[in-house]
């Protein structure tokens, strides 16, 4: 049985203030930086191929997201991923835009093969990365979370990553001791997908929680990924109480992320189990 200690995860994040290098798409850089600041982490978006890897060494964690990648940014990510691996920094892959066109799909698959600590995407993206689907269209998701859990479990087994599937109910899948553990997180709000960057910034926050874990075990990492999603789920639900539309939701969400206490995070509605029908 998985033991998730959200309270400790929140306290450690606040105590460590991890520096998260985001090699991410330009659409969501501002929002992701604000989200990282709101939860108590420090953002740095530098992605020059000449020095990205050097910066990875002083960072606490890394996010890679190729949504608007240039050839330069692909090179920077290659170097940063290698540095993260060499120096044992946790790193998160967001496969956004997989399946949208061949070139980027190839690059995203190559990154996934480099053994990320965690992979976070919506149902369509996870299915596509696992080889079970065609990918989404931009930030959309056309598959349902539960339907792709076998794909997520397969991906977790083959890459060694914790695999997080975002949706109305998020599901985090980890292959631990030969079993496909799944933790579902309830919360969020219908307006959340109407604010660009709520998915992409969750990848950054996942890196931040991973960077502040005490141990590098699979179950500590599962806890960290769950904590990141729970932080979004609880704050996202609260933001929905006062928002009048996607514009006000965006700011209420940042306020709620920042105001959330460890005690409130610990109230997140989690469900644990194992993935049924997993092929792995």
85 near a copy of itself, rule: CB under 8 A: no
102 near a copy of itself, rule: CB under 8 A: yes
**Candidate ranges 160-168, 172-180, 208-216, 240-248; the one touching a copy of itself (CB under 8 A):** 240-248
Minimal distance, residue 183 CB to a copy of itself, in Å: 28
Q: CB atoms < 10 A from the CB of 191, how many?
A: 21
Pick one of 121, 188, 197, 199: the residue that binds a copy of itself (CB under 8 A).
197
70 near a copy of itself, rule: CB under 8 A: yes
Closest CA to 104 of 159, 65, 131: 65
Residue pair 41/10 in contact by the 8 Å Cβ criterion: no
Minimal distance, residue 230 CB to a copy of itself, in Å: 19
Pick one of 6, 10, 13, 31: the residue that binds a copy of itself (CB under 8 A).
31
In angstroms and rounded to an integer, the radius of gyration of the C-alpha atoms of the chain is: 17
Residue pair 25/66 in contact by the 8 Å Cβ criterion: yes
The SS3 call for residue 214 is coil
How many residues contact a copy of itself, by CB under 8 A? 60
Pick one of 82, 87, 215, 248: the residue that binds a copy of itself (CB under 8 A).
248
Starting from the edge strand earliest in sequence, which strands make up the sheet with 162-166, in order? Answer: 42-44, 19-23, 61-65, 91-94, 118-122, 162-166, 170-176, 179-186, 269-274
Minimal distance, residue 247 CB to a copy of itself, in Å: 3
104 near a copy of itself, rule: CB under 8 A: yes
Q: CB atoms < 10 A from the CB of 168, how many?
A: 13
Pick one of 110, 113, 246, 263: the residue that binds a copy of itself (CB under 8 A).
246
What distances in angstroms separate CA 269 from CA 170, 226, 231, 246, one per listed residue? 11, 11, 11, 24
237 near a copy of itself, rule: CB under 8 A: no
101 near a copy of itself, rule: CB under 8 A: yes
CB nearer to a copy of itself: give 113 or 194: 194
Q: How far apart are CA 242 and CA 240, in angstroms?
A: 6
Contacting positions for a copy of itself (CB under 8 A): 19, 25-31, 33-34, 37-38, 42-48, 50-52, 54-55, 58, 67-72, 97, 100-104, 137-140, 193-197, 244-248, 250-256, 258-259
């Amino acid at each position: 049985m998985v033991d998730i200690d959200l309270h400790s995860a929140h306290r450690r994040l606040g105590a460590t203030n991890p520096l998260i290098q985001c090699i991410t798409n330009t659409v969501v850089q501002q929002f992701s930086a604000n989200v990282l600041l709101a939860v108590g982490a420090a953002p740095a978006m530098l992605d020059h191929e000449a020095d990205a890897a050097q910066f990875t060494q002083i960072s606490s964690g890394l996010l890679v997201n190729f949504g608007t990648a240039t050839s330069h940014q692909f090179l920077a990510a290659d170097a940063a991923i290698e540095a993260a691996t060499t120096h044992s920094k946790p790193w998160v892959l967001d496969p956004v835009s997989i399946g949208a066109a061949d070139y980027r799909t190839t690059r995203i698959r190559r990154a996934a093969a480099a053994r990320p600590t965690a992979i976070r995407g919506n149902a369509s993206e996870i299915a596509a990365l696992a080889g079970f689907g065609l990918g989404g269209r931009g930030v959309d998701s056309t598959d349902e979370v539960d339907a792709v859990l076998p794909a997520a479990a397969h991906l977790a087994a083959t890459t060694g990553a914790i695999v997080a599937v975002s949706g109305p109910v998020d599901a985090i899948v980890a292959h631990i001791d030969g079993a496909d553990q799944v933790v579902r997180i309830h919360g969020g709000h219908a307006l959340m997908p109407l604010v660009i960057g709520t998915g992409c910034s969750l990848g950054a926050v996942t890196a931040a929680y991973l960077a502040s874990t005490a141990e590098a075990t699979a179950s500590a990492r599962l806890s960290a990924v769950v904590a990141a999603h729970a932080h979004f789920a609880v704050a996202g639900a609260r933001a929905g109480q006062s928002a009048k539309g996607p514009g006000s939701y965006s700011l209420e969400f940042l306020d709620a992320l920042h105001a959330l206490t460890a005690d409130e995070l610990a109230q997140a509605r989690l469900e644990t189990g194992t993935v049924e029908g997993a092929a792995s």
